Structure 1
Amino acid sequence: MPKKDIHVVPHKDGWAVQKEGGQRASSVHDRKSDAQEQARDQGRRDKVEVVIHGQDGKIQNSNSYGNDPNPPKDRKP
């Protein structure tokens, strides 16, 4: 079974951490930074990609915490 990426998305109560394809949020946070921290921890644990969305729902950033067979050439902090 393939692992599902984790997304940080806008939520009516703030920001939600949600697995790809999931209908419910894993957690909801008041601040985006708190949601990103939770998503990073979960991404490292599950060895999957974490995708950060903006308030408009568009993807702003992503980080891979798994075994990426095609790693990017740029280096993100």
Structure 2
Amino acid sequence: MSKGKNQHVTPHKDGGYQVKGAGNQKATKTFDTQREAINFGRTIARNQQSELFIHNNQGKIREKNTYGSDPYPPKG
């Protein structure tokens, strides 16, 4: 099964946060809060079996979540 686009939650230039598919120029959707954007991005990532990258205000990735089959599952 092919994997969907990874989703990125990033600060929006006009304030608030946005969810963007990897490589997309435009935001899929914008939100007032990061929590709303994360919830929306998580839903898309789960549906597409992709990854969700959450960026901080400086644009650095602060968290990454994999949905679907993880190529590097935790060893335990």
TM-score of the alignment, normalized to the shorter chain, above 0.5: yes
TM-score by length of 2: 0.88
In 1: Cα distance, 2:35 partner to 2:51 partner = 17
Number of paired residues? 74
Tell me, which stretches of 5 or more residues in structure 1 are unaligned?
A: none
In 1: Cα distance, 2:75 partner to 2:24 partner = 31
In 2: Cα distance, 1:61 partner to 1:29 partner = 18
In 2: Cα distance, 1:61 partner to 1:17 partner = 14
Report SS of the residue matched to 1:35: helix
In 2: Cα distance, 1:21 partner to 1:72 partner = 28
Equivalent residue in structure 1 for 2:56, among 54, 60, 69: 54
> For the Cα contact (< 8 Å) 1:8–1:16, is it kept in 2?
yes
Aligned residues: percent identity? Answer: 38
Q: Does 1:6 find its partner at 2:31?
A: no
After TM superposition, which residue ranges in structure 1, 4 or more long, deviate above 4 angstroms?
none
More off after superposition, 2-11 vs 58-67: 2-11
> For the Cα contact (< 8 Å) 2:3–2:48, is it kept in 1?
no
Equivalent residue in structure 1 for 2:72, among 54, 70, 73: 70
Equivalent residue in structure 2 for 1:40, among 39, 42, 62: 42
